[in-house]
Amino acid sequence: MTVASGAAIILLQDDLSQHDIHLLMIFVGLIAVALLLQALGFVIAGIFGAKLLHRVDGIAREVHQRTGPMIDKTSQLITDLGPRVQSLTENAEQISYAVRAKIDEVGETVSQFNRTAMEANGRARTQMSRADGIVTDALTATEEIAHTIEDSIRAPVRQIAGMLAGFKAMIDTLIARSPFGKD
């Protein structure tokens, strides 16, 4: 647009010389050649673009021919597997509930066993405490009986020993006073 407005200004001037008109014609010719070269460039670019579009279209058709059956098979496989996956999901959920219920049952059983073991342990401790008391009482009684027996035997033995000592002293005294005992 600037070229056209520049040309219009030049044409509207009245005092143009022959030389200016000649230069004007050269520049207009150069502009026309540049526009022709530009148009030729667009035509060449259009031809290359059309060739490229034709080649890309061929590649797209080939890709569609090769991948179309795979896409169809994949779609069919997904359609066929959908109910199976749903069934597997439901089964897994049911198994999860069943396992959870069994774990709860096992947990309750373990808790009951633990309570029973604790009760048995408490009873065993009570019985052990009683047995310990009985054994302690028996040992104490045995010790007292032993002391009693020892005291019962010791006193008469002392008395007998004292009597024997006295009897011996008496015999020694008699022998010492007798006419036979003085040598």
Query: Which tokens is 18 given?
Result: 């022959």
Residue-number span of the structural domain to which 70 is assigned: 31-157
Cα 32 from Cα 38, distance rounded (Å): 10
User: Total structural domains in the chain?
Assistant: 1
Better-scored residue on pLDDT, 14 or 98: 98
Look up tokens 């509930």; give the residue: 97
Per-residue pLDDT for 19 more than 80? no
Structural domain includes residue 134: yes
Structural domain includes residue 24: no
Structural domain includes residue 3: no
Share of the chain above pLDDT 90, in %: 16
Better-scored residue on pLDDT, 77 or 37: 37
Structural domain includes residue 8: no
Closest CA to 4 of 41, 39, 35, 40: 35
Structural domain includes residue 25: no
Structural domain includes residue 176: no
Structural domain includes residue 50: yes
Structural domain includes residue 16: no
**Model's pTM, two decimal places?**
0.34
Q: DSSP 3-state assignment of 179?
A: coil
pLDDT in tens, 68-100: 788 788 778 778 777 877 888 888 888 888 888
Q: Do the beta carbons of residue 1 and residue 35 sit within 8 Å?
A: no
Better-scored residue on pLDDT, 28 or 70: 28
- Cα-to-chain-centroid distance, residue 166: 97
Cα 77 from Cα 85, distance rounded (Å): 11
Q: Do the beta carbons of residue 181 and residue 175 sit within 8 Å?
A: yes
Better-scored residue on pLDDT, 85 or 51: 51
Residues in the chain: 183
